[in-house]
Amino acid sequence: MKKLLLISGCFCCLSLFSQQTKAFVIPDSLQNKTYKELASSIVEEKENTDIAAFYASCYVAKAKREDDLENIARGFHYLAYLNTDEVRIQYFDSIIEYTKSGNLKGFTLRTYLMKSQYYYDKRDFKKALDNCIKANSYIDKTDDKNLIIENNFKIGLIKTRLGYYNEALAIFKQCSNDYLTVSDNHKNYLGSVYAIADTFRHLKELDSASFYNEKGLKIALSKESEQWYNYFLLNEGANQYDKNNYNKALDYIQRSLPYIREIPDKSNEAMGYHFLGKIYNQLDDTNQSEIYLKKVDTIYQEINDLHPELRIGYEILINNYREKGNQKQQLVYIEKLLQIDSLLKSNYEYLSRKLNKEYDTPKLIKERDSIINKLKSKNKYWAISLLIVLVVFGIIFYANYKKQKIIRDKFNKYIQSQNIQPKLDTSENDQLSISKDIQDHIMEGLKQFEINKGYLDNSISLNSLAKQLQTNTNYLSKMVNFYKEKSFGSYINDLRLEYTIDRLKTEKMFRKYSIKAISEEVGFNNPESFSKAFYKKTEIKPSSFIKQLEKRN
Q: Does residue 540 sit in helix, strand or coil?
A: coil
Q: Is the pLDDT of residue 9 over 50?
A: no
- Dmax over Cα atoms in the chain, in whole Å? 142
- Residue range 147-175, pLDDT digits in tens: 888 888 988 888 887 778 898 899 999 99
- Give the helix ranges, DSSP H, for 283-378: 286-303, 312-324, 327-355, 361-377
Q: Are residues 519 and 467 in the same domain?
A: yes
Q: Say yes or no: 450 and 382 in one domain.
A: no
Residue 543 and residue 455 in one domain = yes
For residue 538, give the CATH number of its domain.
Answer: 1.10.10.60
In a domain? residue 324: no
- pLDDT category at 436 given cuts 50, 70, 90 is confident
What was the pLDDT predicted at 7?
40
Contacts of 274 (CB under 8 A, 6+ apart): 292, 293, 296, 309, 310, 313
**490 shares a domain with 414:** no
Find, among 87, 82, 9, 92, the residue nearest to 49 by Cα.
82
Q: Are 78 and 59 in contact (CB under 8 A)?
A: yes
Kind and range of the H or E run holding 131: helix 125-136
pLDDT for the residue numbered 185: 75
According to DSSP, residue 433 is labeled: S
Q: For residue 1, give Cα distances in angstroms to 4, 7, 59.
A: 5, 10, 21
Mean pLDDT of the chain: 81
Q: Is residue 477 part of a domain?
A: yes
**473 & 538 share domain:** yes
Query: Which of 369, 386, 418 delimits the end of a domain?
Result: 418
Amino acid at the residue 526: N
More confident position, 360 or 289: 289
pLDDT, one tens digit per residue, over 287-343 is 999 999 999 999 999 988 788 888 899 989 999 999 999 988 988 988 888 888 777
Type of residue numbered 292: Y
d(CA 359, CA 441): 87
- CB contact at 8 A, 192 and 146: no
In this structure, the answer to whether residues 387 and 493 fall within a common structural domain is: no
Contact predicate 295/333, CB 8 Å? no
| Residue 486 DSSP symbol | S
> Roughly what angle, to the nearest 10 degrees, separates helices 327-355 and 286-303?
50
Whether the pLDDT of residue 273 is over 70: the answer is yes
Residues 541 and 449 both lie in one domain: yes
Domains held by the chain: number: 2
502 & 541 share domain: yes
On whether residue 500 sits in a domain, the answer given is: yes
For the whole prediction, is pTM greater than 0.75?
no
Do 396 and 501 share a structural domain?
no
Domain that residue 413 falls in: 378-418
Question: 544 and 453, same structural domain?
Answer: yes
Residue 467 lies in a domain: yes
Query: Tell me, what DSSP letter sits at residue 539?
Result: S
More confident residue, 59 or 19: 59
Let me know whether 393 and 458 are in one domain. no
Q: What is the DSSP string of 135-177?
A: HHTTGGG---HHHHHHHHHHHHHHHHHHT-HHHHHHHHHHHHH
Are 157 and 195 contacting, i.e. CB atoms less than 8 angstroms apart? yes
Helix, strand, coil abundance in the chain, percent, nearest 5? 80, 0, 20
Q: What angle do CA 63, 64, 69 make, to 5 degrees?
A: 70
How far apart CA 14 and CA 83 sit, in angstroms, is 11
Following CA atoms 332, 335, 341, 344 in sequence, which dihedral angle do they give, to the nearest 10 degrees?
-80
Q: Is 408 found in the same domain as 480? A: no
The per-residue pLDDT for range 122-135, each reduced to its tens digit, is 777 778 878 888 88
Say if residue 422 is preceded by a cis peptide, omega within 30 of 0: no
Which amino acid is present at 49? T
pLDDT surpasses 70 at 2: no
Reported as a pLDDT band with limits 50, 70 and 90, residue 412 is low
